[in-house]
Amino acid sequence: MNTDLIHTELDGRVLRLRLNRFDKKNALTVDMYRGLNAAFARASEDPAVRVLLVEGNETCFCAGNDLGDFLNNPADSMDAPVFQFLGHLAEFKKPLVAAINGAAVGIGTTITLHCDLVFAGDNTRFQMPFVNLGLIPEAGSSFLLPLTCGHVRAAELLMLGEGFDAATAKELGLVNRVCAAAETIPTALATAQRLAEQPPESIRLTKALMKQAHKGRVEQTILDEAAAFMERLKSAEAKEAFTAFFEKRKADFSRF
Ligand code: COA
């Protein structure tokens, strides 16, 4: 399947999924979530696919959800494509690999919590600015991030919402390896190909066993976050933050 904005290509037994909206830093629209859902469904069902690799290009991975959609086309039920996508991330049974360079904001960072292997370029800038936008964390990150790096470091990242580099992400346990930006995608692809040569049932069972202890908790957290997230999208704090972004000014929360 190839839409304009979500490009998929089978490379051996690795399905390469490229986010392809570089003029908007790969900010994800509702239609892009639909494309992602179709790609994940294909990757799940097609026995020719052993590994799914998610990538952008050398300069950009993903600037998170499209802020215009947050403002004008917000998710209002669990059937929304964005929540279906989070379900795919949490439930995907084959190895999921990410190659990340440049901007990795919001879901561009929290996706790493659902990946099996993550490669990040030395030009990567991760950020989870949910609170800065008047929102709350998503994709199970309010549970998975403290689990990965401890409460105080997760609180710093989620409450201050500041950016951090690939070396910090590696130290936090979000990234396997930091690469020169030009090497991130080739390194991730070569490693994904090695994974694809492993016995697939053994790989799938290993992933299921590794995830089993927290599966129910992750699914419940995603639901709880989604309910709060939909409320926050309608909040005056969030509207101020989204408007400020497009007006290229700092948000002013002093009146709340
Ligand atoms: N939603 C909608 N449009 C976005 C976007 C987003 N999340 N992120 C970037 N864009 C758009 C910009 O509006 C700009 O469009 P324009 O050329 O029509 O003005 C274009 O993409 C390039 O972005 P720009 O901000 O000029 O690039 P930059 O390199 O200076 O900064 C980012 C890159 C990612 C740091 C910055 O764009 C950013 O902070 N984006 C918002 C990230 C965010 O809050 N995401 C939501 C997380 S929940």
DSSP per-residue string spanning 161-201: ---EEHHHHHHHTS-SEEE-HHHHHHHHHHHHHHHHHS-HH
Whether the pLDDT of residue 153 is over 70: the answer is yes
The alpha carbons of the chain give a radius of gyration, in whole angstroms, of 17
Rounded to an integer, what distance in angstroms lies between the CA atom of residue 243 and that of residue 105?
Answer: 18
Share of the chain above pLDDT 90, in %: 98
Segment 105-112 mean pLDDT: 98
Angle at 175 between CA 81 and CA 211, to 5 degrees: 60
Whether the pLDDT of residue 81 is over 60: the answer is yes
Rounded to an integer, what distance in angstroms lies between the CA atom of residue 111 and that of residue 113?
Answer: 5
Closest ligand 1 atom to residue 135 Cα is: 48
Per-residue model confidence (pLDDT) at position 67: 97
| Cβ-contact 120, 101 below 8 angstroms | yes
Whether the pLDDT of residue 100 is over 60: the answer is yes
| Residue whose CA is at the smallest distance from ligand 1 atom 28 | 25
Per-residue model confidence (pLDDT) at position 40: 98
Per-residue model confidence (pLDDT) at position 127: 99
Q: Give the CB-side neighbour count of residue 124, counting CA atoms within 13 A.
A: 39
Whether the pLDDT of residue 2 is over 60: the answer is no
What's the CA-to-centroid distance between 217 and ligand 1, angstroms? 32
pTM: 0.98
Rounded to an integer, what distance in angstroms lies between the CA atom of residue 136 and that of residue 222?
Answer: 11
Segment 26-36 mean pLDDT: 97
Per-residue model confidence (pLDDT) at position 3: 58
* For the chain, domain boundaries: 6-182+197-201
> Ligand 1: residues within 6 Å at CB?
24-25, 27, 63-68, 103, 105-106, 129-130, 133
Segment 55-71 mean pLDDT: 97
Rounded to an integer, what distance in angstroms lies between the CA atom of residue 68 and that of residue 230?
Answer: 15
What's the CA-to-centroid distance between 245 and ligand 1, angstroms? 8
Per-residue model confidence (pLDDT) at position 1: 46
What's the CA-to-centroid distance between 24 and ligand 1, angstroms? 6
Segment 53-79 mean pLDDT: 97
Best probe residue, ligand 1, of 25, 33, 58, 246 (max atoms within 8 Å of C-beta): 25
Rounded to an integer, what distance in angstroms lies between the CA atom of residue 14 and that of residue 8?
Answer: 10
Mean of all residue pLDDT scores within the chain: 97
| Residue whose CA is at the smallest distance from ligand 1 atom 45 | 64
What's the CA-to-centroid distance between 25 and ligand 1, angstroms? 6
Whether the pLDDT of residue 74 is over 80: the answer is yes
In this prediction, residue 10 has a pLDDT band, given cuts at 50, 70 and 90, of very high
Give the pLDDT confidence of 157-213 residue by residue, as tens digits: 999 999 999 999 999 999 999 999 999 999 999 999 999 999 999 999 999 999 999
Closest ligand 1 atom to residue 127 Cα is: 47
Per-residue model confidence (pLDDT) at position 236: 97
| Cβ-contact 52, 15 below 8 angstroms | yes
| Cβ-contact 166, 122 below 8 angstroms | yes
The CATH code that applies to domain 6-182+197-201 is 3.90.226.10
In this prediction, residue 256 has a pLDDT band, given cuts at 50, 70 and 90, of very high
Rounded to an integer, what distance in angstroms lies between the CA atom of residue 7 and that of residue 1?
Answer: 7
Sheet holding 6-11, edge to edge: 6-11, 14-19, 51-55, 96-100, 117-121, 177-179
Whether the pLDDT of residue 142 is over 70: the answer is yes
| Residue whose CA is at the smallest distance from ligand 1 atom 22 | 24
